[in-house]
């Protein structure tokens, strides 16, 4: 029986991108294939859970209408087309896009941190670039190579080591590149769990 390494499961509100404001159960997986300095996942802390245990935990936390967001770390390291989780719910994934998302996922958010294989991009509903960590040249590259495959493009300012969000820079980028939209991390701005 397959076991997943789960960092935490919690119920809150999606605070980023197109689904911002929706009630969501978050299944945060442990482990990643990258080492981003701003990652908010404690990869050392995890519990092994079966699909049935994950489904039960989500059902206990979130009413039926709430969506489920698989995040991490990198959820595609553990999710596959072989086994579906949380059937009967709207299921979203937040991924770095290196590994393709399972076919049963309803909404794919790719936040690229490195160059992506073209075949992985056909399932991107939205692209989320982290402004303040990625520079404008990287974002322009993504706009040319990735953007045509996604419906929504977000420039999302993140905080530097001093806690300053690159909001002004992201707003300026969006004004000069109208295909992009500004997306804020509401959970960090308003301390939402």
Number of other CB atoms surrounding residue 110 within 10 Å: 26
Whether 86 sits among the annotated catalytic residues: the reply is: no
Q: Is the pLDDT of residue 15 over 90?
A: no
What does the CA dihedral 104, 42, 163, 10 come to, rounded to 10 degrees?
A: 50
Average pLDDT, integer, range 40-54: 86
Given a contact cutoff of 8 angstroms between Cβ atoms, the answer to whether 127 and 110 are in contact is yes
Whether 26 sits among the annotated catalytic residues: the reply is: yes
- Among 41, 71, 76, 95, which one carries the catalytic annotation? 41
Q: Is the pLDDT of residue 64 over 60?
A: yes
Question: What is the homologous superfamily of the domain 4-189 according to CATH?
Answer: Aldolase class I (3.20.20.70)
Residue showing tokens 């709207």: 90
Task: Delimit the domains of the chain by residue range.
Answer: 4-189
Whole-number mean pLDDT of the chain?
Answer: 84
- What's the Cα-to-Cα distance from 121 to each of 19, 53, 89, 97, 146, rounded to whole Å? 19, 31, 23, 7, 7
Whether 94 sits among the annotated catalytic residues: the reply is: yes
- Among 43, 53, 84, 187, which one carries the catalytic annotation? 187
By C-alpha distance, which of 164, 146, 165, 148 is closest to 156?
A: 165
Q: Indicate the pLDDT class of residue 189, thresholds 50, 70 and 90.
A: low
pTM: 0.87
Digit-coded pLDDT (tens) for 111-152: 887 766 665 556 789 988 887 766 666 666 666 566 566 778
Whether 141 sits among the annotated catalytic residues: the reply is: no
Q: Which residue has the higher pLDDT, 96 or 135?
A: 96
- What's the Cα-to-Cα distance from 133 to each of 53, 65, 107, 174, rounded to whole Å? 36, 34, 24, 16
Whether 36 sits among the annotated catalytic residues: the reply is: yes
Confidence at residue 13, expressed as pLDDT on a 0 to 100 scale = 94
């Amino acid at each position: 029986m397959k076991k997943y390494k789960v960092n935490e499961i919690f119920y809150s509100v999606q605070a980023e991108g197109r689904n911002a404001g929706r009630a969501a159960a978050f299944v945060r997986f442990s482990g990643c294939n990258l080492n981003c300095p701003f990652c908010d996942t404690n990869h050392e802390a995890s519990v092994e859970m079966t699909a049935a245990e994950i489904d039960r935990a989500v059902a206990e936390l979130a009413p039926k209408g709430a969506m489920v967001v698989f995040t991490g770390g990198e959820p595609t390291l553990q999710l596959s087309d072989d086994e579906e989780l949380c059937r009967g719910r709207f299921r979203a994934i937040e991924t770095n896009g290196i590994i393709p998302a399972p076919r049963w996922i309803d909404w794919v958010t790719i936040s690229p941190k490195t160059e992506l294989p073209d075949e992985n991009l056909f399932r991107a509903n939205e692209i989320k670039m982290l402004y303040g960590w990625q520079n404008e040249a990287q974002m322009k590259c993504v706009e040319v190579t990735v953007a045509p495959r996604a419906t929504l493009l977000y420039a999302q300012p993140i905080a530097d080591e001093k806690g300053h969000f690159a909001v002004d820079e992201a707003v300026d980028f969006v004004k000069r590149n109208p295909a992009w939209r500004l997306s804020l991390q509401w959970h960090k701005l308003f301390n939402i769990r």
